[in-house]
């Protein structure tokens, strides 16, 4: 995750070192019955959140021109204490981009386990096939050990087992193929963690303590609140980066308001205008009479009488265009002579 998380508590440095070491401790505690060169997996276990989430209030502003979301106000109740990483995650005035918001729920939730995610299988295995570019969220590689972690989030707290099993099946055969291809004599396991707003499902290979379970659930709820608030401010999120780019461009263009200027007027105005404050109604009426009289006299001077041959030519011309089928009622009767245009 980009370094968009800033922290205001002085003791955060110690907290950061503690939390970034969390996944290493979890990995060290895994002790299944395994065989070298064979991938170990397990079924999922579901645990509910054991602590109510303390109150908080977040106010955001959507900057459509720069495509970012600004944290205008953050308030946390005293019930949070210093143990949670959430109150120290952001300060007022900090911002994240719309592109970062697209994966914010996933990234923010699991940041305490790993700051960087999506490492390719090709980074620990020899090239084999088109699946080399598959990216588990975390790969822990040590002497004699390979650990693969997949993370996920869901709004449905009643169906956590399914997403967990899907994550496991997605990588199980792919990793086994590579273990056989490379003849790796290492201990290897694959685990998944799925978080919802009230519960968590994780592979029973892992030993997650109560604090970690509650913290993951609370972080997901906080991230969901941020995303929902951003959407209320006008943010639109897409499934792919390409679609997101097009949406961002449209929102940026629609947010730019044109500025109109009039020659001789200082500064920009919201619309064009004609200043007539110095002209009275009587003066305007007199001017219009003079202008009309002038135009009439000029037309009379250029007036010419229309003779019969001219009228015949006009009739022939009309017939040539519309085939002679003329509705006499639709013809405007004109005088025999007219002022020249």
The residue ranking higher by pLDDT, 300 or 14, is: 300
Residue 262's pLDDT band (boundaries 50, 70, 90)? low
pLDDT at 306 over 60: no
Tell me if residue 258 falls in helix, strand or coil.
coil
Most confident among 81-95, 116-130, 242-256, 321-335 (mean pLDDT): 116-130
Residues 232 and 69: beta-carbon distance below 8 Å: no
Which residues have a Cβ under 8 Å from the Cβ of 160 and sit 6 or more positions away?
Answer: 44, 46, 154, 194, 196, 199, 200, 201
pLDDT at 11 over 80: no
**What does the radius of gyration of the chain's CA atoms come to, in whole angstroms?**
37
Query: What is the structure's pLDDT at 94?
Result: 87
pLDDT at 294 over 70: yes
Helix (H) or strand (E) holding 40: strand 39-40
Tell me what the pLDDT averaged over the chain comes to.
80
Least trusted range by pLDDT, from 67-76, 171-180, 260-269, 277-286: 260-269
pLDDT at 326 over 70: no
Pairing of strands 145-153, 187-195: parallel
Q: State mean pLDDT over 301-328.
A: 60
Among 50, 133, 55, smallest CA distance to 87 is for 55
Least trusted range by pLDDT, from 48-62, 224-238, 254-268: 254-268
Q: What percent of the chain has pLDDT over 70?
A: 74
Query: What is the structure's pLDDT at 123?
Result: 92
pLDDT at 52 over 70: yes
pLDDT at 165 over 90: yes
Question: pLDDT tens digits for 66-116?
Answer: 888 999 888 888 888 777 888 888 878 889 998 899 899 999 999 989 877
Residue 278's pLDDT band (boundaries 50, 70, 90)? low
Its pTM stands at 0.67
pLDDT at 40 over 70: yes
Most confident among 128-132, 239-243, 285-289 (mean pLDDT): 128-132
Q: What percent of the chain has pLDDT over 90?
A: 35
Locus of tokens 């106000």: 73
- Residue 90 to residues 200, 207, 270, 274, Cα–Cα distance (Å): 25, 29, 38, 51
- 195: number of Cβ within 10 Å: 29
- Residue 341 to residues 31, 121, 201, 275, 337, Cα–Cα distance (Å): 100, 82, 86, 31, 12
Q: State mean pLDDT over 174-191.
A: 90
The residue ranking higher by pLDDT, 313 or 126, is: 126
Q: State mean pLDDT over 331-341.
A: 57
């Amino acid at each position: 995750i980009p370094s968009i998380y800033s922290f205001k508590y002085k003791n955060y440095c110690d907290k950061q070192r503690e939390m970034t070491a969390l996944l290493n401790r979890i990995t060290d505690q895994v002790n299944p019955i395994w065989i070298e060169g064979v991938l170990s997996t397990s079924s999922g276990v579901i645990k509910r959140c054991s602590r109510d989430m303390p109150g908080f209030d977040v106010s955001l502003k959507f900057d459509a021109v720069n495509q970012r979301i600004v944290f205008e106000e953050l308030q946390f109740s005293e019930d949070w204490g210093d143990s949670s990483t959430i109150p120290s995650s952001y300060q007022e005035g900090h911002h994240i981009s719309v592109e970062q918001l697209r994966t914010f729920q996933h990234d923010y939730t699991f940041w305490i386990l790993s700051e960087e995610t999506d490492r390719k299988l090709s980074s620990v295995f020899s090239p084999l096939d088109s699946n080399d570019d598959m990216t588990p969220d975390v790969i822990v590689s040590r002497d004699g050990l390979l650990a693969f972690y997949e993370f996920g989030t869901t709004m449905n707290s009643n169906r956590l087992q399914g997403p967990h099993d899907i994550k496991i099946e997605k990588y199980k055969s792919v990793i086994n193929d590579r273990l056989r291809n490379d003849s790796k004599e290492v201990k290897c396991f694959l685990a998944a963690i799925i978080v919802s707003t009230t519960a968590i499902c994780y592979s029973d290979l892992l030993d997650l303590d109560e604090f970690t379970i509650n913290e993951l659930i609370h972080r997901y709820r906080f991230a969901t609140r941020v995303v929902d608030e951003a959407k209320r401010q006008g943010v639109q999120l897409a499934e792919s980066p390409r679609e997101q780019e097009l949406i961002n461009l449209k929102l940026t263009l629609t947010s730019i308001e044109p500025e109109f200027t009039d020659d001789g007027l200082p500064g920009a105005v919201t619309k064009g205008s004609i200043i007539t404050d110095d002209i009275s109604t009587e003066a305007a009426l007199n001017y219009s009479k003079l202008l009309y009289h002038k135009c009439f006299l000029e037309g009379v001077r250029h007036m010419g009488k229309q003779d019969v041959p001219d009228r015949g030519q006009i009739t022939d011309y009309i017939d040539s265009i519309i085939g002679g089928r003329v509705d006499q009622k639709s013809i405007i009767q004109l005088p025999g002579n007219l002022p020249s245009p």
